[in-house]
Amino acid sequence: MTALMLVLLSLIFIFLILKVALLSFELPMRRSPGEGAHYRRDSLSGTGGPCDWNDRTSIPIADLRLDDLREGANMLDSRVKADG
């Protein structure tokens, strides 16, 4: 009985350690409105890096109204690409 309890406690402990270690991968990253403005400014002025467009369109913005605008821009961008 004691050995079984020790094994169960060890498994629970290992599970909790792994859960805490992987928690940062589970939480979605959300940009502040200022960070979103920075990426929009850089993409419009052409001063951004090669990954800025992907970063701008793929990472949600914490302000839900601005995030709706980001999603709308993504849909518009996909329509423009589809039209060619």
Domains in the chain: boundaries: 33-83
pTM for the model:
0.46
Segment 22-79, tens digit of pLDDT = 776 666 667 788 887 887 788 778 787 777 777 777 778 778 888 888 888 778 766 5
Q: With the CA atoms of 52, 77, 62 and 42 taken in that order, what torsion angle do they form, in degrees rounded to the nearest 10? A: 30
What letter would DSSP give residue 48?
A: S
The answer to whether 61 and 70 have CB atoms below 8 angstroms apart is yes
The span from the CA of 59 to the CA of 29, in Å, is: 7
Of residues 17 and 52, which shows the higher confidence score?
17
In angstroms, how far is CA 32 from the centroid of its own chain? 12
